[in-house]
Every structure is written in C-alpha cells, then in structure tokens.
Chains A and B, each alone.
Chain A
C-alpha cells in the first residue's frame, strides 16, 4: 500500500447542507472516509450508513457484572465467611443488600461503558488525532474522502461533486504515515 495518504476535503458551513451533501456524495458511488463536525449532527450516522453502536449492550453486561459481584460479595462475606447476628435478621438477608448492589451495578456499568467507548474509538491522552481541518471543532463541517479507496474518480471529479453538493471550500490534505 501507498505510505502516503491523500484526502480531499469538502468544508461546509451548515449542517443541513452537509446532510444533503453526504447523501448526494454517497449516492454517486463515492466512499466517504469520515465526516468531522463540531457538534453531533442527528441523522448523520444513518446518512453515512453506520451500524448502530453496540455500546448499550456493553453497558448492560458491565452492569450485570456489577450486580453479580455485589451480591456474591455481600452474601459470601456476611452469610458464610463471618456470619453475625445483626438485628435478629438472617445472616444473608437480601433487602439490606439492595442499596450496595444497586450502586455497584451503576458504577461498573458506567465505568465499563466509558472504558469501552475510549477503547473502540481509539482515544487516549497521548495520541494526536489526524487533523483534517482544525476548524472542524469550531464551526465547520468537513467531509473527508480518501483518494486511495475511490480510484475510479479523479481528484477534479470529487472536487466538483463536493462543490455541487454545497461545499464552501474544497481542500486537499496529505498525511505521511
């Protein structure tokens, strides 16, 4: 594979124009590398054909782990390892164990899901992302098209397509990695 990466970027001012442009560009058979927006644009993931994230499943499974862990810990500690009579209740009585079970469910679910999010999104403090256009965290929306995966189209074709779709600017960007 080519070591250098060449991208063509369409810069948009308005999220509604961007949405139409994404549909138009994908409709003409061009594969979009990624779209960078300063804020979440609703419906963009569907327009780009992304599969729905499975993070909710991860959150549920982590939560379930928390529930199990909390119940096992409490029942084992107070019921078996060192049973004590407290208020004349059973050694392992369920109702007083519910608050801690609930808290640990929430804790593990939240932490596990966020950790999964950071891992699947490849986010870490010491990593610089590929910055296609620094204005994309300010007020511009950027469609990035990888030239390597769209060999059928020339640079000029892509630029024209983006401009027709309403791009304010069309730029090129190369990365050396």
Chain B
C-alpha cells in the first residue's frame, strides 16, 4: 500500500523515519537553546523594554505624545495595526485554507505560521487599545457591557466596533486551532520525557497536552474538530481583513471610499503574511537545522503565492488610479494625484517598488529557489506593505478639504517606540515559542511521511544502513 509519487517532490527529504521526526523536533524543546537564541532573545527583550517604556509614557501623558494632529488623526498607530493584522493572515491561510484544499505541504510550516498569527494579532490589537489612551475604560467603549450612562450601548452600526468583534474572534479561534494542533505533539514530548526520566517536564507537558492518549476514537473526533475549525477559520480570516478595510471603505474620505478595498486588503494581507512567514522560517530552519522538513520546494511554493497576491495588489493600485480619473470626482482625483506627486510621493513610490515590482523577480526560478534572495525580498515586501498602509492612511488625511488645515505628519519618539514595542514583543514571543513548543507539527508530518518520501527513504536508508535514532 505504499504510494510513492513519481510526479511530486517528496515533502520531507533526508530519508527521515517517524522516530527521526519526533527526535528532530522534540530535541529543541529538550536541550538547552543555542547561543544564537540567547543573543536574539537579548535583542528582542531590549526592544521590548524600550517599547514598554514608551507605552508607559503614552499611558501617563496621553496620546498627545504621538505626532498626531487635528488633520492627521490616524497615522503610525493604525498603519501598524493594519500591518500586523495583515501579517497574521498567512498563518490561517496556511493552516485552514490549505487544509481544506488538501495541500499537504502546509504541514511542515503551519505550526510556526499559526504562532506568528497569534503574536501578530496581539501586536495589532495593542494599537487601537493604546489609541484609546485610557485602556482602563476601553472595555466599556468597545464591548456591549452595561454601564453607568444609561446603559448607553456600543454602536453596532460602526465598522470600528465590527473590528473589535472580528479581531477578538479571530484571535480566539486562531489560538484554539493552534492549540488543538499542539496537543498530540505535547503528548509526544511528555512521553519522551517519561522515557528520559525527566519528571517535571513530563508533568508540565502532560498538563499542556490535556492528558492526550492518542486512541483511535480520540483521533477520529480530533480530525473532525480540526476540519470544522478549518471550515470556520476560512470565512473568518477573509472576514477579518474585509472588516478592517471597512474601517476605511465605509467612510467618505477621498482615497478611502473605495469598493475594491475588501479583496484588495485581503490579498495584501496574505501577501505580507507570507513574506513574514518566509522571514521567520528561513531563520528558524537554519538555526534548528530543519532543512529536511522545510525544503526549497516549500519556499518556492510560498514565493509563488507571493507572486500571485503581489500581482493582485499591483492591479488594485492601478485600478484605484484609473477609477480616480474615470470617476471625474475632483476630490477623489486630487487624493490620488497628491499620493503620486505630493509631499509623500516618496512613500508611494517605495510602496510601488517594494510591492509591485520586486515580487515580480520571483518569476525567475533561480531567484524563487534561492534562500538569500527570498530572505531579502521577503523583508522588502514587509517594508512595502507597511508603506502601503501608511500611504492609504496618511496621504488621504493630510490634505483635506480646507487647504488652510493641510499639514504633514511627523512621528515622535513614542510613535516609533510603540512600533518597537510590538516588534520586540513579536520576536520575544516567537523565540519563546521556538524554544518551548514543537515548531513543526510532528503528528501531521508523520502521517505524510510514508506516502511522500518513500523514494527518498529507500534510496538513502539503503546507503546509510539503518536510520539512527539516539534515544530509546
């Protein structure tokens, strides 16, 4: 019943056995981390500490410490919010949509991508929360809770409120989906700890695994739950960035009032999310020596998604320009003329170069299968997508209807500091995840090992004899 495919490349290379999978992934949890990990952790914590300082200053003095003014009421904060939410989308796309499409290559990358989603959504949510200035009353402003104003309820007609529900649901469901995937792998680590005699670790990972036994009945239910969660997450992830785009699209601001925003934002989100997945995984793969699990083929497939979504984003930019001319609305026309010609033209053209031109390089096979080129381009795409949000938000606001109120936005130390806060948090959380949680979904990878890498297994095990596993 072995079904090696002669058409497709194997998903896992290096002639790995099932025991090798457990060993290769679990050992990072069991062993002391590398020096590089400590170094990266130190940098992330330093960034986080600076960010926390800036956050405290913001909470103490109020949002006035940011560079916002009467004309530009949204700038870095909402730019960062949309940027982070967008980054999160790749994780759900990989784990849910690719599950529904039965794309088995997702299995080596879904765990890390979902972790990225969760941390990115936390980073995103911090911006609207901090923008309220008074976090402690935020609950009453954002949630339909009885209050002392009568009760004056939240406005369910407002896209900003839809955002609260969308982001919190997205976070919760992603967290549950991710954790469900982790349960069998925690049990693997627990049972290895039992065999190694590490009692504390066994107890901790047993608690984390909810006492997983791996019985056939539990697996049956588990698979059913995973499939339904994927089915729920798929419309959810599309709804989240759609609702984020409603924050802009339902307003009457020229440059925001556009019906193409929902699909344009969703594809932009997936575009930037895959770029961030690549940035993180190329490093993780190298540091943790996971080249056999996250192969060049995986990287190539992700780069292909970047070409597709990058091109959709490019078409959206051009469509916006065309419609602003075709509509013959002077305000709309000026908003876009100002984008490409005005004082923020440098931001517009950086966005165009990073998002539309640079991913087209991936049409060349040599570039999309090169690790160095992919790494550099993934960072360029991340920068480009940050500029996209900045361009949409700030250039549409800074020259409004009355020229006397035209102004520029200048970020202060605290605008930058809040961004650094999220960068520091994101990398700190990811490093902790990489140390304490299995970075690859072991159970899923084991299930595809036989069908997909039989050819390699035979060839390579014949060469090196019996595959070596060090602990038994």
Chain A residues with CB under 8 A of B168: 107
Name A84's closest neighbour in chain B (CB-CB): B155
Segment touching A, from B43-51, B184-192, B410-418: B184-192
* B170 CB → nearest A CB, Å: 8
User: Does chain A have a CB within 8 A of B41?
Assistant: no
Name A98's closest neighbour in chain B (CB-CB): B162
* B125 CB → nearest A CB, Å: 14
**Do A56 and B1 contact each other (CB < 8 Å), given the known contacts A103-B165, A106-B235, A123-B212?**
no
Inter-chain contact count A-B, CB under 8 Å?
193
Indicate the member of A41, A89, A131 with the most B CB atoms within 10 Å. Answer: A131
User: Does chain A have a CB within 8 A of B444?
Assistant: yes
Whether B172 and A118, one on each chain, are in contact in the complex, defined by CB atoms closer than 8 angstroms, is: no
Whether A125 and B210, one on each chain, are in contact in the complex, defined by CB atoms closer than 8 angstroms, is: yes
Whether B215 and A34, one on each chain, are in contact in the complex, defined by CB atoms closer than 8 angstroms, is: yes
User: Does chain B have a CB within 8 A of A138?
Assistant: yes
Chain B positions 9-58 with a Cβ under 8 Å from a chain A Cβ:
17-19, 22
Chain B residues with CB under 8 A of A126: 207, 211
**Do A39 and B444 contact each other (CB < 8 Å), given the known contacts A100-B165, A117-B225, A137-B188?**
yes
Segment touching B, from A71-79, A145-153, A162-170: A71-79
Whether B447 and A39, one on each chain, are in contact in the complex, defined by CB atoms closer than 8 angstroms, is: yes
User: Does chain B have a CB within 8 A of A97?
Assistant: yes
Whether B207 and A35, one on each chain, are in contact in the complex, defined by CB atoms closer than 8 angstroms, is: no
Chain B residues with CB under 8 A of A35: 215-216
Chain A residues with CB under 8 A of B444: 39
Whether A50 and B217, one on each chain, are in contact in the complex, defined by CB atoms closer than 8 angstroms, is: yes
Mask: chain A, 84-118; 1 = CB below 8 Å from B; 0 = not = 10110100010011011011101101110110011
Chain A count of residues within 8 A CB distance of the other chain: 63
* B187 CB → nearest A CB, Å: 5
Mask: chain B, 239-271; 1 = CB below 8 Å from A; 0 = not = 100010010000000000000000000000000
Partner of B19 from the list A37, A114, A128, A139 (CB cut-off 8 Å) is A139
User: Does chain B have a CB within 8 A of A53?
Assistant: yes
User: Does chain B have a CB within 8 A of A129?
Assistant: yes
Chain B residues with CB under 8 A of A38: 18, 22, 184, 188, 214, 443, 446
Whether B220 and A53, one on each chain, are in contact in the complex, defined by CB atoms closer than 8 angstroms, is: yes
Whether A40 and B173, one on each chain, are in contact in the complex, defined by CB atoms closer than 8 angstroms, is: no
Name B219's closest neighbour in chain A (CB-CB): A40
**Do A44 and B219 contact each other (CB < 8 Å), given the known contacts A15-B450, A99-B243, A110-B173?**
yes
Whether A123 and B176, one on each chain, are in contact in the complex, defined by CB atoms closer than 8 angstroms, is: no
Chain B positions 412-457 with a Cβ under 8 Å from a chain A Cβ:
443-444, 446-447, 450
**Do A104 and B192 contact each other (CB < 8 Å), given the known contacts A89-B157, A110-B173?**
no
Chain B residues with CB under 8 A of A45: 216-217, 219-220
Extra contacts, 18 of them, besides A77-B156, A82-B151, A134-B194 (Cβ < 8 A), are A38-B18, A38-B22, A44-B216, A50-B216, A73-B144, A78-B156, A81-B153, A96-B157, A99-B239, A102-B239, A103-B236, A106-B169, A110-B173, A125-B210, A129-B213, A134-B191, A137-B214, A139-B22
Q: Could you name 16 residue pairs across A and B whose Cβ atoms are closer than 8 Å?
A: A39-B447, A40-B220, A45-B216, A50-B217, A78-B157, A82-B150, A86-B157, A103-B169, A111-B173, A114-B229, A121-B217, A123-B183, A127-B210, A131-B213, A137-B188, A139-B446
